[in-house]
Amino acid sequence: MKRQIAIPRQMSLITPEILNPFVHKIHLSFMQKIQIVFMSLFVVPIRLLMIFTCLIFAWMLAKASLAFRSKEEQDKPMKGWRNMLRPVIVLFCQGVFLMGGFWITVKGKLASCKEGPIIALAPHSSYFDSLVIVYLNLSTIVVKSSTEFIPIFGRRAICFFYGFQNVKVKGQPVGSDVAPILVCAPHSTFMDAFVIFYCSTLPSSLSRKENSALPILGSLIEYTQPLYVQREDPNSRKNIMKEMTRRAKTMGEWPQIIIFPEGTCTNRSCLIGFKQGAFYPGVPVQPVCIRYLNSLDTYTWTWEGPGAFTCLWLSLCQFNNKLELEFLPVYNPNEEEKQDPTLYASNVRQKMAESLKIPFTDHTYDDVRLMQKAAKLNLPHTAGLIEFQKLHSKLGISFDQMNELLDQFGAISQKDKGSITLGEFAAYLHVPVSPALEEMFSLYDRNGSETIDFREYIIGLSLISQPVNNDDTLKLAFQLFDNGDKGYITQEELTGILTNAFGIDDLDVEKLFQEVDINKDDKITFDEFRKYAETKPEYAKLFMTYQELKKVLNTNGNGISKLE
């Protein structure tokens, strides 16, 4: 007998509108393939030569500007003749993009550093997003410390040679005295960063410390006076927050700070969760929306899709690359947002999503880490995409716990499908399929697909099994097996109950008994019973469901055999 029950669902835990923002595929038509061959033979070599020429000039100017600085000068904003070279460096950088075929449209107005000291950009889907830095004239960036040793880079010349001949700008950029921080999104490509070099003031950014050892980009990034993140330093994040706050509150003394708050590249189908870093200082920010307008998307660089070189080469093979930057009005936080960076980040993300006309989800970089873990377990990549931040805040599950659950899920599920069937669920629990198990399975199966994916498995454990896996339930179950209140359960007692109640055969009961009997003394104590239940809380829910069904049958005057 299987009860017909209405299953309540929390709307806050429904499946996100965009299931996988970390995948991108490029499909080339026959004519597009012909174009790529033609451009590769006759145009791209010329573009690469011009790009290299601009990079050399930009590198020479950047190295000259950085030469012979004292330690005190390195801790202060660039001034004097060093700062006067900024427009020339920016010009070379923009030229590289223009030669590469990029047409950039800018909407809105760039705020000053005083109005918005931090720039937030989104979505971040490509390395081409770096073009924002070029447009912003090398604002300060937060980068890896190793980046400072990258020797070559440029500005408007870079844009020209990369094919960004026309960058469309919407809105009005403001200075660092108005908005010390720029936040840019979506972040979809490594070229997003070049947008920074297209700007007139070259904003600062964030990067990992080890990037300073790379051989190509370091000098120009160091010229923007970036904030370096040192992974080996446990205090690095705290120090970055302090330095960002200090710069942001100098009322325009330092260049603007530009940040991609998503923290990783997406396919621009949505805005994922924003990190709190840009919003921690509680100062005004100017949101910057990035749009790539070509019908063929050769820019998006995600975790599952074309590699960096493929994206770069295909983009250089386009006749031109159209890019639009929209500077939204400066967002001034209220007192509540100043005290709550999470709320501040969420509200700014909502404004940017409205402007971009795309949804937003609670995916984060942690979902990428789980996606990589799923691949190592030979599961589909999508198995790890669960909106970690949402489940963490709603269910209180840590990332380490999620990792352990993914291992457990991988041991149960079919490797090729990344989901659990009713039969696999029964095999995992060493029980046959029964009405009680079917009812429990349906509670886990939130979308009625007759399978349980990893997200449903986590929610089921947290909301269905764990709440009833308490001492009261375990004591009741233990007493049912312990004939005579001896304080332990024998294999015969376990066999008698499980065979009669669930139809489990003797071999499965013996295997289950050996798993529970930790010290192998041929009896199960309550401590052993409880420890095993902690690893498989499904048993507690299965037991309670069985008890409820038995009561229903007894009320209707039916025998217990109807449960088998």
Q: Which of 89-93, 200-204, 385-389 is least confident?
A: 200-204
Residue 389 lies in a domain: yes
Measured CA to CA, the distance from residue 116 to residue 176 in angstroms comes to 6
Residue 458 lies in a domain: yes
In the chain, how many domains are there? 3
The size of the chain, in residues, is 564
* Pair 244, 137 in one domain: yes
Residue 358 lies in a domain: no
* Pair 453, 519 in one domain: no
* Pair 306, 411 in one domain: no
Dihedral (C-alpha) 514, 518, 519, 520: value to the nearest 10 degrees?
Answer: 0
Q: Which of 8-17, 26-35, 49-58, 299-308 is least confident?
A: 8-17
315-354 pLDDT, tens per residue? 889 888 888 888 899 999 999 999 999 999 999 999 999 9
Q: How far is CA 215 from the centre of its chain?
A: 28
> Which pLDDT value is given to residue 497?
81
> Which pLDDT value is given to residue 76?
86
232-245 pLDDT, tens per residue? 777 888 888 888 88
* CATH code for the domain in which residue 390 is found: 1.10.238.10
DSSP state of 256: P
> Which pLDDT value is given to residue 271?
95
Its domain, for residue 376, covers: 365-465
DSSP state of 249: T
Domain-terminating residue out of 449, 465, 481: 465
* Pair 324, 373 in one domain: no
Using pLDDT thresholds of 50, 70 and 90, give the confidence band for residue 432.
confident
Q: Which residue has the tokens 């060493």?
A: 430
Instruction: Supply the Cα-derived Rg of the chain in whole angstroms.
Output: 29
Measured CA to CA, the distance from residue 130 to residue 260 in angstroms comes to 10
Report the mean per-residue pLDDT for the chain.
Answer: 81
* Pair 239, 307 in one domain: yes
Beta-sheet strand order (sheet of 124-136): 187-193, 124-136, 195-199
452-494 pLDDT, tens per residue? 999 999 999 998 888 888 888 888 888 888 888 899 999 998 8
* Pair 523, 489 in one domain: yes
Instruction: Indicate if the pLDDT at residue 97 is higher than 80.
Output: no
* Pair 460, 476 in one domain: no
DSSP state of 523: -
Residue 213 lies in a domain: yes
DSSP string, 38-91: HHHHHTHHHHHHHHHHHHHHHHHHHHHHHTT--HHHHTS---HHHHHTHHHHHH
When pLDDT is averaged across residues 292-303 and rounded to a whole number, the result is 89
> Which pLDDT value is given to residue 524?
93
Of 347, 353, 360, 299, nearest to 326 (Cα)?
Answer: 353
* Pair 311, 335 in one domain: yes
198-257 pLDDT, tens per residue? 555 678 877 766 656 665 567 777 888 888 877 677 788 888 888 888 888 887 888 888
547-564 pLDDT, tens per residue? 777 676 566 655 444 444
> Which pLDDT value is given to residue 306?
92
Residue 46 lies in a domain: no
